[in-house]
Amino acid sequence: MKHGDIIVVLAIIAIVIIIIIPIPLGALDVLLSFNISLALLILIIATYTQEALDFSIFPSILLLTTLLRLALNITTTRYILSQGTAGNVINTFGDFVMQGNAIVGFIVFLIIIIIQFLVITKGSERVAEVAARFTLDAMPGKQMAIDADLNAGLIDDNDARERRQKIQREADFYGAMDGASKFVKGDAIAGIIITVINIIAGFIIGVSIQGLDFSASIQKYTMLTVGDGLASQIPALLISTATGIVVTRAASEGNLGSDLIKQLFNQPKIMFIISGVLLFLGLTPLPLLPFLFLSIAFLLLGLSLRKELLSSALDDIPDEIQEAVDEKKKPENVMPLLNVDPIELEFGYGILPLADASQGGDLFDRLVMIRRQCALELGIIVPMIRLRDNIQLEPNQYIIKIKGVDIAVGEIIFDHYLAMNPGMVDEEVEGIDTTEPAFGLPAKWINEQEREKAEILGYTVVDPPSIIATHLTEIIKSHAYELLGRQDVKKLIDNVKESHPVLVEELIPNQLGLGEVQKVLGNLLREGVSIRNMVTILETLADYANITRDTDMLTEYVRQALGRAITKQFIATQPAKVITIAKELEQRIMDSIQQTESGTYISMDPEIIQTVINNLSQQLQKLITLGEQPIVITAPIVRLYFKRLSEQLTSDLIVLSYNEVDPSIEIQSIGAVNI
């Protein structure tokens, strides 16, 4: 309906107005009939609902239908006490139930109220309360299961987001049902109170005001009260039944009707047993005909079910044989074997408890945090990290693989902690000497008793899951440029396109292709530069793509645009103690640059290169002796080529150009690399 929201608002306001303003008897008959029709509609919808969330508006409907019944009760009470009548619907209900006998009719009415209040409403309320409690208690486990599937690559981010939203909606729904069931309970209590008021007040009014005798007054007002009660309690009974159906739906794959038939009448053996028992009961002094009829009915049902099962089994046999033959004939599907996971973490059976949530392991949670950390620090989308157990490894050993190739190996000692001396602690702790796997620092494995002592002395103490997580994080950071594929770049660019569509449309594909942008981003990640500021990166590429399409040169332009971030990332203290490049060496490098179709490279005499490497090593030793981080600063045109030269000595050396350093940073040169 086009204006359905307006109609609902007006209907709610009308219900409140009915409580205050009298309405004609004809309109009252229509509303009472509508109330019964609405209750039937709700009951049928609840019966055909497969999941509770398919009828998520049900708690609000309980409130509105309860308000409607109370408004109609107040209106009918007004007419019963003031005019001695309440319309054709109530009169018909009263005559039909009472059959001219006020006492019998009133007793039947009370039985209906008791069933509705004590049996259905009370049971539904308890089920809703337990369901709400269990749903809330199960939320952490369900969330961990989603995170585990996400890290295992079984689902993607969208599936995980939808499943988390469904869990949240289930918790909200059952919590709302727990509260909404109180509406039904309160409505039943209000119905009993209104019934008592109508009978007592009606009797008094009939005798004292209308001049009726005792029996006539009792007969008249009991009939009206019973009719009024039935007109309101029958819809209440239907909605209470619907409430019970909705809150008791669990582990179901269909609606109530299909599940009922499928699960009650699916085993012929049970039908035969019931038929025999009923026949035996018919031979006792109990009436023969009813039990004999039911016995024959269950016998026929059992025969029919057995015939269907045998027919279905015979039909399936040729299909199964043909499928087996076809399976043998067709070639083996080797396509899944060709897939290579971007990141794998293999571990021995001794590390399994760290990945098992039921044993208190939180490795899955740490993998989620790793992906978040890399997104914040480097701006990349880390692929799903595949966890595998490998019985060929040592029990406490683990291997980190990038694209199927072993990159790093580590070993932990379960129930021990890794203690590292930050360099300011003189006292030793007892433990097993080892090397920290992520950074190669000397460390010791200590037990639980030594942990507190080590922390007091100032040691850095970490647990086994943190060791694995830290090692994995460092491997991902150092190989981020390998993990960044074209598909990942497409996702990053699409993310930027949502807020900066003009920028993306100008750059891609008019000026640069997706592969060229990927190479620039890979160059940045190779030297540890974050690509989170994609807007600045793409704007710089758009500015200089008309000048050159050399990805190495474009990378240098981007680095200069990111100068402030690069300075903050690599220079932590002032004045910054650095190594510079002598002008003679810079000129020699510029003269050695060779241009080719595939890019540029330097062509220098191997002896000169070796001299440069030795000189660089001496200068780096000076910085390390001073406790400073090794940083080399050179001219912009030389930076890239000197970085490539320095990789023969170490791949971790930070090489910056003068254009990348923030002008506010004070630089102090402690030496220059020369030839």
| Strands 576-581, 417-420: pairing kind | unpaired
Backbone angles phi and psi of 41, in degrees to 5? -60, -45
Taking the chain, what is the end-to-end CA distance rounded to the nearest angstrom? 84
Cα diameter, the chain:
130
Helix-strand-coil split of the chain, %, nearest 5: 65, 10, 25
Q: How far apart are CA 410 and CA 421, in angstroms?
A: 20
- Contacts of residue 42, defined as CB under 8 A and 6 or more positions apart, other chains included, come to 58, 61, 65, 238, 239, 242
CA–CA gap between residue 211 and residue 200 (Å, rounded): 16
Q: Chunked in runs of 10, what are the mean pLDDT values of the chain (675 residues)?
A: 71 82 82 84 80 75 82 81 75 68 71 72 69 70 74 74 79 72 72 75 73 70 76 78 71 58 73 82 78 83 80 61 57 63 85 74 79 86 84 86 88 86 81 86 87 85 87 89 89 90 88 89 90 91 88 90 89 84 86 76 83 87 82 88 85 87 86 83
Our CA angle for 568, 655, 675, nearest 5°, is: 150
What pLDDT is attached to residue 360? 67
**C-alpha to C-alpha distance for 476 and 464, rounded to whole angstroms:** 18
The 3-state DSSP class for residue 16 equals helix
Burial (CB count within 10 angstroms: exposed 0-12, middle 13-18, buried 19+), residue 240? buried
- What is the distance between the alpha carbons of residues 642 and 664, in angstroms, rounded to a whole number? 25
Sign of CA dihedral 47, 49, 50, 53: negative
pLDDT at 200: 76
- Asked whether the beta carbons of 630 and 579 are under 8 A apart, the reply is yes
So what's the pLDDT on residue 251? 44
pLDDT for the residue 318: 58
Determine phi and psi for 648, rounding to 5 degrees. Answer: -70, -20
Q: What per-residue confidence (pLDDT) applies to 352? A: 80
pLDDT at residue number 521: 92
Tallying the residues shown for the chain, one arrives at 675
- Three-state SS for 499-536 is HCHHHHHHHCCCCCCHHHHHHHHHHHHHCCCCCCCHHH
Show the 3-state SS of 218-280.
HHHHHHHHHHHHHHHHHHHHHHHHHHHHHHCCCCCCCCHHHHHHHHHCCCHHHHHHHHHHHHH
- What gap in Å lies between CA 600 and CA 596, rounded to an integer? 6
Contacts of 87 (CB under 8 A, 6+ apart): 25, 26, 28, 29, 32, 76, 79
Of 433, 45, 406, the residue nearest 238 (C-alpha) = 45
Answer yes or no: pTM beyond 0.75.
no
Which tokens sit at 138? 């199960």
Q: Which residues contact 136 (CB under 8 A, 6 or more apart)?
A: 171, 174, 175
- Round to whole Å and give the CA distance between 555 and 541: 9
pLDDT at 82: 75
Instruction: Decide if 464 contacts 416 (C-beta within 8 A).
Output: yes
Q: Which residues pair with 602 in a beta bridge?
A: 593
Q: Determine the 3-state secondary structure of 89 from DSSP.
A: helix
